[in-house]
Structure 1
Amino acid sequence: MEITIKVNTSQDIAALEKLVQALKASTETAVTAAQEPVNPTPVFMNPVPGAVTNPGPAVNTGSAPWTNQPFTAPVETLPTTTPGYTIEDLAKAASLLAGAGKRDQILALMNSFGVGMLTELPKEHFGAFAVKLRELGAKI
Structure 2
Amino acid sequence: MQNLPAVPTSVPQYTFDMIQTACAECMDKGQAQQLQGLLQKFGIRRIPELRSEQYGAFATELRGLGARI
For the superposition of Structure 1 and Structure 2, which TM-score range results when normalised by the shorter chain?
Answer: 0.7 to 0.9
TM-score by length of 1: 0.45
Distance 1:78 1:106, change over 3 A: same
Q: Which runs of 5+ in 2 are unaligned?
A: none
Between the two structures, name the one with larger relative contact order (CA 8 Å, sep ≥ 6): 2
Structure 1 regions of 5+ residues with no counterpart?
1-18, 20-72
1:125 counterpart residue number:
54
> Structure 2 CA distance, aligned partners of 1:83 and 1:139?
14
- Matched residues, percent identical? 35
The alignment status of 1:90 with 2:16, answered yes or no, reads no
- Cα-Cα RMSD: 1.8
Relative to its length, the structure with more helix (as a share) is 2
Partner amino acid, structure 1, of 2:16: I
Where do 4+ consecutive residues of structure 1 move more than 6 Å? none
Name the larger-Rg structure. Answer: 1
